[in-house]
Chain A
Amino acid sequence: MYFSVWAALLLGTFITYKAAYIELGRFNAAVALIIATVKALLVALFFMHIKGAHEKLLKLVVISTVFFLFILLFLSMADYGTRSWS
């Protein structure tokens, strides 16, 4: 089962690499980040064994961390994104 995850990860890398050379406009970044997130989830769920964890606590730790990271990223963007409005 680990080997299928491994194969999926390598495939994801290959797709990311190739897709970067195709003109997708604004979606290039989105595609790359979505694939990266899928890969990260695969590593976290299967290699780091979150999927089989008997407690919800570990999932809570991961989700809270990601939540606060997003707060840092997106609330700062609230400033930078709206500076040109006024």
Chain B
Amino acid sequence: MSMATATIQTVERENYLNKEYGVGSWLFTTDHKRIALLYLISITFFFFIGGFFALLIRLELLTPAGDLVQADTYNKLFTMHGMVMVFFFLIPSIPAVLGNFLVPMMIGAKDLAFPRINLLSWYLYIIGGVMMMHCVLTGGVDTGWTFYTPFSTAFTNTKIVEAGLSIFVAGFSSILTGLNFVVTIHRMRAPGMTWSRLPLFIWAHYATSIIQILGTPVIAITIVLVAVERTLHLGIFDPKLGGDPLLFQHLFWFYSHPAVYIMILPSMGVVTEIIACFARKRIFGYSFVAFSSIAIAVFGFLVWAHHMFVAGISLYSALIFSLLSYAVAVPSAVKVFNWTATLYKGSIHYDAPMLYAFGFIGLFTMGGLTGLFLAALGIDVHVTDTYFVIAHFHYIMVGGALMGYLGGLHFWWPKISGRLYPESWARLAALIVFLGFNLTFFPQFVLGYLGMPRRYFHYPQEFQVLNVLSTAGATVLGVGYLLPMIYFLWSMRYGKPAPDNPWNAAGLEWMTSSPPTTFNFETEPVVTWEAYNYDELDKPRREEVKVVG
């Protein structure tokens, strides 16, 4: 319940941040909002670790010769970059930070269904993270983040078992978060909050949670098999002993493909919320967007062997998986059409979150379309295991998921921290990120098409210009990422106190104070309106939207 002219309080109201002080009140909290902040700090740490490895990779690739690091070290660099970024940054990011913070508030609940399991999730993540850091600091792993057998089980001398177990533990963190969200969304919605009134952010997280619940256990058991095989010298995946290396790949990709949808679906949910708010319009085709999230989750489980087209699977199964991979692009395209239609005749505002959302739409579309190139068997034979694939997934993971994450952080920052971030700096940072990103990864599409293989640290002289452009872009991108870290921290101390609803956005979370109290709502809200009721919110006669209860 806010008005743009709310007086700025000089005495701070009690909220979830100042309710209790002390390390214990944070480490033993069951408040979903505090847990979200604990995650925010931890995943930012791992983002820097993963980014550090990326920096070293790009530095090595400035020159055609392998001259900065040795070959084995380079193998470790791209492996650790991938493992840390995938398992300790991208997979948790939006669900663990924004999802944890917002899911209960968006549905009108006081907390998630299982607050203590939520805290357990964070502890599991930290334990997995500590194990991974120990692995990194004591030599790391050199198999690629995909740890294919039999190299990972029978030949490499690096710490596969330790790295695998760290991912196993972090995987359970992911499973428990997903479980918590599904139960919460089913059981804890406020009166009147029907499924068709839910924010699409919730639908996106519901779909993500399904994938987390059903997919993660498969990679968990795969890691167990790899660890057992490696320790006891078994032959489950070793061809010399009668095993099939492709069995590993089937089991690995059965999770790891849906995993990429874990990374992108929440980001799509964020973008939907931002676009509705900054175009001041209801989302076009609400049901289509909602069901496309579920469709992506379901179809995402049917396509995994498109990572194995050249690995030795039968041609007939390759055809099936190629066809299914085309099918999975459809629901994603549906979303892009719906966002575009929402923007049409909307009242567009170019605040920082919206800039990130725009970046998302363009870059995700490019990444997604190049995925279709890869789904075509003929093209895939040519560009698989080249920089084309790397560019493809970075467009989606960085240009898509990460931009959505940043946009969401900006959008909900006033709610989370009670402070406004500096808007001009934020817009500047968004532009720097966008430019840096394209400079980094567009050349990689060209490099891949020209034939530069991935995971190689030396390359023919004629590829140097593109590699230098890419590294230059990476530096710009790094600056773009540092800026928000700095001004978000700055704003916690010096930022203007935020009103309850600075964007005049729709959604139950905006009807709490900024920052919210520990139990979010003083009285349980009763929902009588549809989602994205911007036409009501923007009525000239400013009628306060009251929470009835």
A83 to B317, CA, bound (A): 9
Is the beta-carbon distance between B316 and A78 smaller than 8 angstroms?
yes
**Chain B interface residue number, banded:** 10 to 19
Is the beta-carbon distance between A86 and B314 smaller than 8 angstroms?
yes
Q: Across the interface, which residues of A come within 8 angstroms of B247, CB to CB?
A: 76
Per a CB cutoff under 8 Å, which of B214, B302, B314 touches A75?
Answer: B302
Q: Across the interface, which residues of B come within 8 angstroms of A75, CB to CB?
A: 302, 304-305, 317, 320-321
Is the beta-carbon distance between A79 and B313 smaller than 8 angstroms?
yes
Residue A85 interfacial (CB < 8 Å):
yes
Residue B240 interfacial (CB < 8 Å):
no
Is the beta-carbon distance between B314 and A68 smaller than 8 angstroms?
no
Q: Across the interface, which residues of B come within 8 angstroms of A79, CB to CB?
A: 246, 250, 305, 313-314, 317
Is the beta-carbon distance between B214 and A78 smaller than 8 angstroms?
no
Q: Across the interface, which residues of B come within 8 angstroms of A86, CB to CB?
A: 314-316
Residue A72 interfacial (CB < 8 Å):
yes
Q: Which residue of B lies closest to A86 (CB)?
A: B315
* Chief secondary structure at chain A's binding surface: helix
Q: Across the interface, which residues of B come within 8 angstroms of A83, CB to CB?
A: 313-314
- Chain A 48-86 interface residues, beta-carbon cutoff 8 Å to B: 57, 64-65, 68, 71-72, 75-76, 78-80, 82-83, 85-86
Per a CB cutoff under 8 Å, which of A57, A68, A82 touches B316?
Answer: A82
Q: Across the interface, which residues of A come within 8 angstroms of B315, CB to CB?
A: 82, 85-86
Residue B254 interfacial (CB < 8 Å):
yes
Is the beta-carbon distance between B320 and A76 smaller than 8 angstroms?
no
Which residues of A are at the interface with B, using a C-beta cutoff of 8 A? Answer: 57, 64-65, 68, 71-72, 75-76, 78-80, 82-83, 85-86
Which residues of B are at the interface with A, using a C-beta cutoff of 8 A? Answer: 186, 210, 214, 218, 246-247, 250, 254, 301-302, 304-305, 313-317, 320-321
14 residue pairs of the A-B complex, CB under 8 angstroms, read A57-B186, A64-B210, A64-B214, A65-B214, A68-B214, A68-B301, A75-B320, A78-B317, A78-B320, A79-B305, A82-B314, A82-B315, A85-B315, A86-B315
Q: Nearest 8 CB-CB pairs, A to B?
A: A79-B317, A82-B314, A82-B316, A83-B314, A78-B317, A79-B313, A76-B250, A68-B214
